[in-house]
Amino acid sequence: MKTIIKNISELIQTETSKVDFVSGKDMQNINTIKDAFLEITDGLISNFGSMDEWAGIDDWINTNIIDADGGMVFPTYCDSHTHLVFAKSRESEFIDRIKGLSYQEIADNGGGILNSVEKLRNTSEEKLFADAKIRLDNIIKLGTGAVEIKSGYGLSIESELKILRVIKRLKKCSEITIKSTFLAAHAIPNEFENNKEGYLDLIIADMLPKVIDENLADYIDIFCEKDYFTNDDTNKLLSAANKYGLRAKTHVNQFNSIGGVETSVRNNALSVDHLEIMKENDIDVLMRTSCMPTILPSCSFFLGIPYSPARKMIDKGLPIALATDFNPGSSPSGNMNFVSSLGCIKLKMTPEEVINATTINSAYAMGVERELGSIALGKKANFFITKEIPSYSYLHYSFGENLIESVYLNGKKQ
């Protein structure tokens, strides 16, 4: 079966030559085709070009025609960093923060990650799955076509596996592309309060082999931060994971720069995420590596912490990916449209840089750049059609407005 999308006012992020990601000055370039068509065969992109070049329909019976009505077509967003399997929202912490408490003070008072851990341990796999599925369907409506989801609110063998099994079920029941990440090293659970070494040993000796055995994770993650896990812990965990061929995507430099970027790069991490606090050396060690610096601006927005120095990083030649960090504590939103606006407004990235950062670069940051992240022959037909908009920059400019008319994953309307 073929589908043709016709009358596209502008087809965005078309691929002219194969790239895995774009860096520095190249982030400023995107290819587009005005007055375009897009052809899909069996869920994959099989042709695209300007309406003038369109050969027309040869098989009316087996062709489905969709009129974009002057809307634009974008490849769907890739959201390469989320924690969208969680038990309950945490708006009481949000109110505490309005009253002046910091993220760390809230964590010290029994809030934060451990608050979510307690709630998740008391929630059934069935309920977690049902709630996560609703969140997944919501982000699809917002234009996301690939998402990475982490564990990390279980912090025991049983509960970490519970989350990873939920993610495995989500992979099977949705058209969205999902990658899963094992994040048992998210915080130190209460049972190990004065025995962090014991917890790390449990992760490495007991949890990791089970995760590998059941094929439950595509990546491993750790929160490398003061009061959580040190650089040495990070090195130990990532080298243990590397022995199983599990690559890392790490939480580093959210509140302090303690060397996590360098340790992650040394251990061949696929991405380093957060990066609110960057020293010169953190930027330097990322240069000319295959590790994707990933920025989560809605976390800075929500917690009122500094924004990453994205402009400086791009100007030095680095690539950047943008993601939502969707989680109940520091970013209760999976909206990549809002992340895109923040990229322009707060990170001072241009609309073109933001488009690259939310498509091809974030696809790379979750290992799906060969199948997603641009409009290219043979890639998955994951795209959204916008309402009529005056220019592609309007999507970022008109923050908070829903400009998405329809979303297609594997060529199917969602």
- Cα–Cα distance between 111 and 185 in angstroms, integer? 17
Q: Are 79 and 298 in contact (CB under 8 A)?
A: no
75 part of the interface to ligand NIG, by CB under 6 A? no
Where does 255-402 show beta strands of DSSP type E?
271-274, 292-295, 321-322, 383-386
Q: Are 185 and 237 in contact (CB under 8 A)?
A: yes
Q: Candidates 254, 271, 298, 308: give the one binding ligand NIG (CB under 6 A).
A: 254
- Residue nearer to Fe ion on the CB measure, 325 or 369: 325
Q: Is residue 41 exposed (0-12), middle (13-18) or buried (19+ Cβ within 10 Å)?
A: middle
Instruction: Give the x/- contact pattern for Fe ion in 59-98, rule: CB under 5 A.
Output: ----------------------------------------
Q: How far is the CB of 281 from ligand NIG (least distance, A)?
A: 21
Q: Candidates 162, 165, 179, 251: give the one binding ligand NIG (CB under 6 A).
A: 251
325 part of the interface to Fe ion, by CB under 5 A? yes
Q: Are 238 and 263 in contact (CB under 8 A)?
A: yes
Q: How far is the CB of 89 from ligand NIG (least distance, A)?
A: 11
Q: What is the 3-state secondary structure (H, E, C) of 281-295?
A: HHHHHHCCCCCEEEE
- Residue nearer to ligand NIG on the CB measure, 330 or 361: 330
Q: Which does 154 bind (CB under 5 to 8 A by kind): Fe ion, ligand NIG, none?
A: none
Instruction: Give the x/- contact pattern for ligand NIG in 209-248, rule: CB under 6 A.
Output: --------------x-------------------------
- Amino acid identity, residue 400? G
Q: How far is the CB of 223 from ligand NIG (least distance, A)?
A: 5
CA distances from 39 to 13, 44, 378, 380, 413 (A): 15, 9, 11, 12, 14
15 part of the interface to Fe ion, by CB under 5 A? no
- Cα–Cα distance between 108 and 117 in angstroms, integer? 14
Q: How far is the CB of 387 from ligand NIG (least distance, A)?
A: 32
Q: Are 279 and 257 in contact (CB under 8 A)?
A: yes
CB-based closest residue to ligand NIG: 329
- Cα–Cα distance between 217 and 193 in angstroms, integer? 26
- Residue nearer to Fe ion on the CB measure, 262 or 325: 325
User: 321 to 340, contacts with ligand NIG by CB under 6 A?
Assistant: 325, 327-330
Q: How far is the CB of 368 from ligand NIG (least distance, A)?
A: 21
Stretch (H or E) spanning 214 = none
User: Residues in the site for ligand NIG, rule: CB under 6 A?
Assistant: 112-113, 116, 223, 251, 254, 299, 325, 327-330
User: Residues in the site for Fe ion, rule: CB under 5 A?
Assistant: 325
